[in-house]
Amino acid sequence: MSNLHYVVREPKTNIENPSLLILLHGYGSNEQDLFSFANELPDNLLIVSAQAPLSMGFGGYAWYSINFDDKNGKFSDLKEAKESIDKIAVFIDEIKLKYNTNTDKTFLLGFSQGAILSYSLSFFFPNKVQHVIALSGYINTELLPENISSEIKTDYYCSHGSVDQVLPVEWARKSKPFLDNLGFKNDYSEYNIGHGVAPQNFFSFKKWIEERL
């Protein structure tokens, strides 16, 4: 059992095996954050927004701790991150089973910390999801399996704010050459914003999802 709390928007149309979209929020947020735009996404999707397991108080949650000290500066707790990846993998299977979804059409959308884990999960669990939407995140090379399967068919939508003050755009720009080198399909775009999702960014990934339904 993953024991992850979640909220769900069932398809607005009666579908036997709906396509599934899982939402993973960023550091310090909660399951309601990305869920706020669920009703603007395609009617035939089952949309599930998961809450991260680590409480930060005041309604904020994290998938893993980000620590600060004088020696190392800012650093991520990679053990917690991997534990969350494993929990999310189990959670996806639980949701697929519970809602009898189309297992060939699973989308994983993450923002910031959620995007970092979305990338990693797709490498640790090949083809568990067919489509990854990584918003304002990057590929953390410390959160990768020793060998990345060449059998992965997942494609990726990657976007970032060109003036992001939280996760530098230079980190995100490495994602395309990394994915290209592996032969994985991907689209990369930048928007003139900080650490967030611009309206044109939303309509761009919405269209990307629609094209794959």
111-165: pLDDT as tens digits: 999 999 999 999 999 999 999 999 999 999 999 999 999 999 999 999 999 999 9
Q: Determine the pLDDT at residue 192.
A: 97
CB 131 within 8 A of CB 162: no
Q: Where are the domains of the chain?
A: 6-210
* DSSP states along 115-147: HHHHHHHHHHSTTSSSEEEEES----TTSS-SS
Whether the pTM exceeds 0.85: the reply is: yes
* Triad 50, 11, 88: Cα angle to 5°: 20
Would you give the DSSP letter of residue 52? Answer: P
pLDDT class of 76 with cuts at 50, 70, 90? confident
Pairing of strands 54-57, 60-62: antiparallel
CB 6 within 8 A of CB 31: yes
CB atoms within 10 A of CB 59: 10
CB atoms within 10 A of CB 73: 8
| Average of per-residue pLDDT values in the chain | 95
The CATH number of 6-210, from 3.40.640.10, 3.10.105.10, 3.10.20.30, 3.40.50.1820, is 3.40.50.1820
- Could you give the CA distance from residue 157 to residue 163 in angstroms, rounded to a whole number? 19
Q: Determine the pLDDT at residue 73.
A: 63
- Could you give the CA distance from residue 26 to residue 166 in angstroms, rounded to a whole number? 12
Tell me which long-range contacts 177-182 makes (C-beta under 8 A, separation of at least 24): 178/139, 179/139, 182/148, 182/150, 182/152
Q: What is the mean pLDDT of residues 56-64?
A: 95
Q: What is the mean pLDDT of residues 186-199?
A: 97
Q: What is the mean pLDDT of residues 5-33?
A: 96
pLDDT class of 75 with cuts at 50, 70, 90? confident
Q: Determine the pLDDT at residue 51.
A: 98
Q: Determine the pLDDT at residue 68.
A: 66
- Could you give the CA distance from residue 28 to residue 63 in angstroms, rounded to a whole number? 9
Q: What is the mean pLDDT of residues 181-205?
A: 97
Q: Determine the pLDDT at residue 212.
A: 97
Q: What is the mean pLDDT of residues 80-98?
A: 98
pLDDT class of 72 with cuts at 50, 70, 90? low
